[in-house]
Amino acid sequence: MSEQDRPQNSDPAPVGETEAVIVGIDGSPPSRNALAWAIQEARSLGRPIRLVGAYTIPSVAAAAIDVSYVPIDDSSIRAAVTNTLKEAAAEVKAAGVPVEAVIEIGDAAGVLIDESKTGCLTVVGSRGRGGFAGRLLGTVSSALPAHSACPTVVVPACWDNQAERPAHPTSSRPIRQDGIEVETHDPDAESIEGLRFDGKVVVGVDSLGAESPALWKAARLAVRRGSPLHIVAVITTTVIGPEWLPSTADLERLVNEGADKLVVAKQRLAEEFPDLDVTWTLFDGQPAEVLVRASDTAEVLVIGSRGRGGFAGLLLGSTSQSVLPYSQCPTMVVRVARDHGRRKHNEAPPEPGL
């Protein structure tokens, strides 16, 4: 991915001085929506923005047809990309945020993954369409989080922080909230009213509990935004076959183990961020549904990728890919190293930065 251009409306950021917020731009309304969110985040972080535009050159391949090679003039495509980035760069500059812009030839997801290696955060819109070369950011928003070298935020096309947002019914049920048992719901009801998380950063944690990288990213995000943090975790007690028929004591132990992890997570956060308002809820249900329903009213949702087992296969793994297409708020995906869970408690202090 060689070639790079800098539209005239952009200011080169000092090389090596600070990591930028990477924003994928394709000219579509969803990508502009993502840019608006990224501007606020870059200002909060005190980081510049690097706008990234990518396009591919159409090719003609014929296995059994003898055709002459005709060079393709990509000047019109490049001009469209350049104009798109100029407009975006002007918007960023008007907000008082340092900005640079790059154009690269190649698949948008691959280009953004490469750019993420030198960024602190990558932001894209979901279900983007149109724009130059008909590039779909919807595809990028599903491929990028799994491979990005830094956390990725996917901003829904429908995102409007000022709009009224209903909490949709859910089949997953809260069973503990901050150590207190939740009132039992009608077991015969197929769904119940969803909880509201207005103005909160919500983070889903798995068996890593207090060691979850997503937890600490979410805490720092909440501190910067001046928002409360709500931790959610999920266990599944539904019996789907005769292989496991838990006793009442087994179920109680399962719930207590999950709640204990959340208590420890809250205590660890209180030590590091004493002024941060932290609450938690343990659900019985399906992880993807819990997180999507939390996104109905949350300010930002933070999830990890490639989480592992723990109590009842808590979160996340493929859950992140199940959540992203349906999330109703900006969603940050934080990659979890495969060996992260093997680190000892005192070997995994809160990381600096985001």
Beta-carbon-side half-sphere exposure of residue 268 (alpha carbons within 13 Å): 21
Indicate whether 198 and 343 sit together in one domain. Answer: yes
Question: Among 122, 155, 188, which residue terminates a domain?
Answer: 155
Give residue for tokens 């007690």: 237
DSSP code, position 161: T
Indicate whether 130 and 193 sit together in one domain. Answer: no
Indicate whether 225 and 96 sit together in one domain. Answer: no
pLDDT of 108 reads: 87
Domain-embedded: residue 13: no
Indicate whether 108 and 250 sit together in one domain. Answer: no
Indicate whether 205 and 325 sit together in one domain. Answer: yes
Tokens in use for 109?
A: 């997801």
Domain-embedded: residue 352: no
Cβ(231)–Cβ(203) below 8 Å: yes
Characterize 203-220 residue by residue with b for buried, 16 or more Cβ atoms within 10 angstroms of its Cβ, and e for exposed.
Answer: bbbbbbbbbbbbbbbbbb
What does the alpha-carbon distance between residue 334 and residue 313 come to, in Å, rounded to a whole number? 18
**Structural domain boundaries, residue 110:** 20-59+71-155
Indicate whether 337 and 222 sit together in one domain. Answer: yes
Supply angle C-alpha 54, 330, 36, rounded to 5: 60
Domain-embedded: residue 5: no
Tokens in use for 279?
A: 């609450």
CB atoms within 10 A of CB 162: 5
Domain-embedded: residue 161: no
What does the alpha-carbon distance between residue 209 and residue 341 come to, in Å, rounded to a whole number? 10
Indicate whether 303 and 194 sit together in one domain. Answer: yes
Question: Among 155, 190, 214, which residue terminates a domain?
Answer: 155
What is the tally of structural domains in the chain? Answer: 2
Indicate whether 144 and 187 sit together in one domain. Answer: no
Indicate whether 86 and 26 sit together in one domain. Answer: yes
Q: Outline where DSSP puts E strands in the chain.
A: 20-24, 49-55, 99-105, 119-125, 152-155, 173-177, 180-181, 201-204, 229-235, 278-284, 300-305, 331-335
Indicate whether 186 and 143 sit together in one domain. Answer: no
Indicate whether 112 and 249 sit together in one domain. Answer: no
pLDDT of 342 reads: 44
Q: Which residues contact 7 (CB under 8 A, 6 or more apart)?
A: 82, 85, 86, 89, 101, 103
Question: Which of 49, 146, 144 is closest to 102 using CA atoms?
Answer: 49
Domain-embedded: residue 335: yes
Question: Among 155, 181, 210, which residue terminates a domain?
Answer: 155
Kind plus residue range of the DSSP H or E element containing 323: helix 319-323
pLDDT of 10 reads: 45
Average confidence (pLDDT) per 10 residues, the chain, 354 residues? 43 56 91 94 96 80 53 78 95 97 90 93 74 44 80 90 90 87 68 91 89 94 97 79 65 87 96 97 92 96 68 49 88 74 43 44
Domain-embedded: residue 206: yes
CATH of residue 299's domain is 3.40.50.620
Domain-embedded: residue 6: no
Bond before 316 cis per omega within 30 degrees: yes
Indicate whether 113 and 204 sit together in one domain. Answer: no
Domain-embedded: residue 330: yes
Backbone φ and ψ of 153, nearest 5°: -110, 125
